[in-house]
Structure 1
Amino acid sequence: MFFTYLRRELRRRRKAALVVASGLALGIALVIIVSSVSSGMSKAQDKVLESLYGLGTDMTVTKAAAAQGSGGTGRPRFEFDAQDDEDATQSTDRVMVQGFQTLAAGIVGKVGKQDGVADAVGGLSLTVMKVDGQFQRGEFKQDESSGTQGGPGGGQGGGQPQGRVEGGGASFDVNSFTVYGTDVTQQDLGPLTSSTITGGRTFKAAETDAEVAVVDAAYAKEKELAVDETVTISGTTYTIVGIATADSGDASANVYIPLKQAQTVADSKDKVTTVYVKAADSQQIDTVKAAIQKNISGTTVTTSADLAETVSGSLSTASDLASSVGKWLSLAVLTAAFLVAGLLTSSAVSRRVREFGTLKALGWKSGRVTRQVVGEALVNGLMGGVLGIAIGLAGAYAVTAVSPTLTAQLGATGGGGGMGGGGGPMGGGPGRQTAARTLDIALTAPVSLTTILVAVGLAVAGGLVAGAFGGWRASRLRPADALRRVA
């Protein structure tokens, strides 16, 4: 009887049911779209961070920034020997530690022993500046029209011929690229994990001091490098064993070599620029950070959350809009949809006074009438939920299909080191201005099962809210009301 009456009433009042369902569908669809876009932005931000410090890294440890004015970073100095052969090519390069400050390699072990640290690995970030070119002598040409000048008294003779030097000069090319020294015995942590080997192979654990290299795909394409070819760093030739393609954004370095080799070419034996740390529990990252800062002096600890706060650009702006304006807007629309559904259901009950009054006169209890109204409202809510989920999925799919490009700018900080400075793999330049790094990220809008379940819950809740309004109104009706309407 319940379902028969329910089906008949919904068919008879399908226009009103469609209005209620459409209102709920709009609010539910908006919630799905905003949630999926927010999730996509969160994943985009994670990709930005991973492209800088590598997969699995929760924090980095670098040397604390030096006091203002203390010490000196020095500028790269290039010296060339004099050569008789003016056609000879002059070439020299300079290997510099990014940030110009390093930590003792023993710090890596100390960090790894701290409570809450699951793993720690050190890395050395370098910048190589290579200068190639030639000097050319100029030719002296005498000015015949001027003759010679006399001595102090203006007389003839004893003077110097007048003329000018033509030609000559110098032409040099400057090539700068970044190098990262990776611990080949621990390759599951650090910047290289943000790239996938797409050619050749990665390092072997036994190649701790081998003259081998993995080159970023973009750099390899620019310099026309391939597997089994070579790249030279400060006079040392490295055989390319692999090509790495960044999973998102730019690569952390142009060339990756074993850590010991990087320490050798940079004359930084037993030194690292950064310690990459993985916490045993992601909920205890702040606690681990505090412990490292307390127990290991002279260091700066930067977490992924600290780095995320420095992200700017359209990605940050859109993320703020989605998390603030978008969520509040969806909440407001959803609340309005619930209220409208409730008011429409209550209004429909008011128009059915004679019907419900007659049913009560025939023996229906108030509870049975209320259940009938709530049942109808609940079905309307479920219909709205199905429609809302369909619209929401369509909206999320449209965002993913278009994949709008967002710009994430990270860096532009004034020293202090950390996870994103210096234009290299987390190497931050303590005590100096670090350059901003810009990445383009394609936005997607993934819809999770949790979001679908939330949408179903909202549909049920909307039906119950509408049913509560209508049920309360129906429970107050009396058989006498129906008799007055008949009269």
Structure 2
Amino acid sequence: MFGIYLKRELGRRKKAALVIALGLALGIALVITVNSVSAGMTQAQDKVLQSLYGLGTDMTVTKARTAPTSNSSGQPRFEFDAKSNDDDTEQSSDRVMTQGGQALKSSLVTKVADQKGVAAAVGALTLNVTKVDGSFTQGKAQSSTSGSGSGQGGPGGGQGSGSTAAPQVQGGGASFDVNSYSVAGVDVTNQDLGPLAGSKITSGTAFTSAQTNAKVAVVSKSYAKENKYKVGKTLKISGTKYKIIGIATPDSSDSTTDVYLPLKQAQTLADAKNQVTTIYVKATDSQQIDTVKATIQKNISGTTVTTSADLAETVSGSLSTASNLATSVGKWLSIAVLAAAFLVAALLTSSAVSRRVREFGTLKALGWPSRRVTRQVVGESIVNGLLGGALGIALGLGAAYAVTAISPKLTAELGSTGGGGGMGGGPGGGGPGQQSASNTMEIALSAPVSATTIALAVGLAVAGGLIAGAMGGWRASRMRPADALRSVS
């Protein structure tokens, strides 16, 4: 009886049911769209952080670089011979400097790994290599003769036809190219954590655990393409040749490191024996990262511990702006629209009940109790809510698919904060002490829809139907059989 009556009443009031369903559908579709876009923003930010930190890294340990002393400016210095017999001779020089924070002792890696809550810790050394090559060109001394006359000439007192000016050097100079690239020293015994963890080897092979001090290198795909490097060729840094054994392609975005070397080789290049610039840390429990951070800071003084959450705060650009809009304006807008949809559905249902005075009064006169009338109204409202939910899910999925298909490009700029204690301790990431360093990446936005979002939409549809039904049912339960008689004309 309930189902038959429900079907008949919904069929009679198709227009009203459609209006209620559409109102709920718009609110639910907006909720799905905002949630899916927010999830896409989170994924995009994770890609940015993974490209700098490496997959699996929960935090990094660094040390702020101290200000240079009066005797040392900390700037690269190049010296060349410029002898007279070196005309047009090519000269080249590499300047290798540690990049990021102040160097840490390698023994700190073990100390960090022994802290409570730390699953693994790996040290890395980040370097910047500035290569200057070119040649000097010697100038030529030339003299010129000017004027004419019959006066006395030179010292011999002979007759001269002019005077000779002092010789002048013409031509000459120097022409040098400057090329700068980043190098990361990798602990080859644990490559699942550290600067190389965010890339995969797409050509050649990765480092082996036996190559702790081998003269081999892995180069990024972009750097290899730019310099026409291939597996098997050699790369020369500061007079040392390294055999390229692999090409690394980042999983998510442009690589921030150009060349990867075994950690000991990088330490030799930089004259930084048993030193690292960054310690990559993986926590045993991702929910206890703040606790692990506090433990490391307490037990290892003078270091800066940076978590992924800290690093995310330094992300700027259109990605950050869009993310803030999605999390603040977008969510509040969706809540407002959804609340308005619920209110409209409740008011329309209540209005529809008011127009059914004769019907409900007659049913009560025939013996229907108030709870049965209320159940009937609530049942109709829930069906309207489910219809609106189905339509809203379809609209929301369509909007999310459109965003993914268009894939708008967002830029993410990750730079260090000032004061020498900045975030972004990853290789090339503008680590502590680099106040002007930054990385700009371009991320394609997607809008993934999870099962949780669909479940939320269904829950909202049912909630909307219950709210509308509760209001309409309360109105219907208060009607008396006498009301039906008074409404008869």
Q: TM-score band (shorter)?
A: over 0.9
Deviation at 1:88, TM superposition (A): 2.0
Q: Is 1:374 aligned to residue 375 of structure 2? A: no
Q: Which amino acid aligns with 2:138?
A: R
Q: Is 1:25 aligned to residue 25 of structure 2? A: yes
Q: Which amino acid aligns with 1:114?
A: Q
Q: Which residue of 1 aligns with 2:297?
A: 293
* Aligned counterparts of 1:399 and 1:80: Cα–Cα separation in 2: 56
Structure 1 residue matching 2:178: 3-state secondary structure: strand
* Aligned counterparts of 1:382 and 1:447: Cα–Cα separation in 2: 19
Q: Is 1:343 aligned to residue 347 of structure 2? A: yes
Deviation at 1:285, TM superposition (A): 1.2
* Aligned counterparts of 2:71 and 2:413: Cα–Cα separation in 1: 30
Q: Which amino acid aligns with 2:460?
A: L
What value does the CA root-mean-square deviation take over the aligned residues? 2.0
Deviation at 1:298, TM superposition (A): 1.8
TM-score by length of 2: 0.94
Q: Which residue of 2 aligns with 1:470?
A: 472
Structure 1 residue matching 2:332: 3-state secondary structure: helix
What are the Cα deviations for residues 73-125 of structure 1, in whole angstroms up to 9, with x where unaligned? 52111112345242321111111111372000001001111111111000000
Q: Which amino acid aligns with 2:131?
A: K
Q: Which residue of 2 aligns with 1:266?
A: 270
Match among 403, 408, 414 for residue 404 of structure 1 = 408
TM-score by length of 1: 0.94
Structure 2 residue matching 1:196: 3-state secondary structure: strand
Q: Which residue of 2 aligns with 1:15?
A: 15
What are the Cα deviations for residues 437-475 of structure 1, in whole angstroms up to 9, with x where unaligned? 211111100000000000000000000001001100110
Match among 411, 423, 427 for residue 424 of structure 1 = 427
Q: Which amino acid aligns with 1:375?
A: G
Match among 369, 381, 388 for residue 384 of structure 1 = 388
**Contact 2:99/2:126, CA 8 A, preserved across alignment:** yes
Q: Please give the residue correspondences for 1:30-429 in structure 2 after superposition, counting only pairs within 5 Å.
A: 30-66=30-66, 72-83=72-83, 84-99=85-100, 101-145=102-146, 157=155, 162-420=166-424, 424-426=427-429, 428-429=431-432
* Aligned counterparts of 1:260 and 1:341: Cα–Cα separation in 2: 69
Q: Which residue of 2 aligns with 1:439?
A: 441
Number of residue pairs matched by the alignment: 479
Structure 2 residue matching 1:248: 3-state secondary structure: coil
What are the Cα deviations for residues 244-298 of structure 1, in whole angstroms up to 9, with x where unaligned? 1122222131000100110011111100000011111112111111111111122
* Stretches of structure 1 lacking an aligned partner (at least 5 in a row): 148-154
Deviation at 1:414, TM superposition (A): 2.0
What are the Cα deviations for residues 176-205 of structure 1, in whole angstroms up to 9, with x where unaligned? 111000000010111211112111111111
Larger displacement relative to structure 2 (102-111 or 160-169): 160-169
Q: For residues 100 and 70 of structure 1, do their structure 2 counterparts lie closer, same or farther at Cα, with a shift above 3 Å needed?
A: farther
Match among 478, 481, 485 for residue 479 of structure 1 = 481
* Aligned counterparts of 1:172 and 1:471: Cα–Cα separation in 2: 86
* Aligned counterparts of 2:195 and 2:185: Cα–Cα separation in 1: 10
Q: For residues 170 and 67 of structure 1, do their structure 2 counterparts lie closer, same or farther at Cα, with a shift above 3 Å needed?
A: closer
What are the Cα deviations for residues 19-52 of structure 1, in whole angstroms up to 9, with x where unaligned? 0000000000000000000010011011111111
* Aligned counterparts of 2:483 and 2:138: Cα–Cα separation in 1: 114
Residue identity (%): 70
Q: Which amino acid aligns with 1:53?
A: Y
**Contact 2:315/2:414, CA 8 A, preserved across alignment:** yes
What are the Cα deviations for residues 350-389 of structure 1, in whole angstroms up to 9, with x where unaligned? 1001011111111111111110100000000000000000
**Contact 2:430/2:436, CA 8 A, preserved across alignment:** no
Runs of 4+ in 1 over 3 A off after TM superposition: 67-73, 155-161, 423-427
Structure 1 residue matching 2:248: 3-state secondary structure: strand
Q: Which amino acid aligns with 2:122?
A: V
Larger displacement relative to structure 2 (79-88 or 466-475): 79-88
Structure 2 residue matching 1:486: 3-state secondary structure: coil
What are the Cα deviations for residues 322-375 of structure 1, in whole angstroms up to 9, with x where unaligned? 111100100000001001101101110110010111111111111111101000
Q: Which residue of 1 aligns with 2:159?
A: none
* Aligned counterparts of 1:186 and 1:434: Cα–Cα separation in 2: 31
Deviation at 1:416, TM superposition (A): 2.6
Q: For residues 371 and 295 of structure 1, do their structure 2 counterparts lie closer, same or farther at Cα, with a shift above 3 Å needed?
A: same
* Aligned counterparts of 2:263 and 2:422: Cα–Cα separation in 1: 20
* Aligned counterparts of 1:413 and 1:146: Cα–Cα separation in 2: 67
Structure 1 residue matching 2:315: 3-state secondary structure: coil
**Contact 1:32/1:451, CA 8 A, preserved across alignment:** yes
Q: Which amino acid aligns with 1:399?
A: V
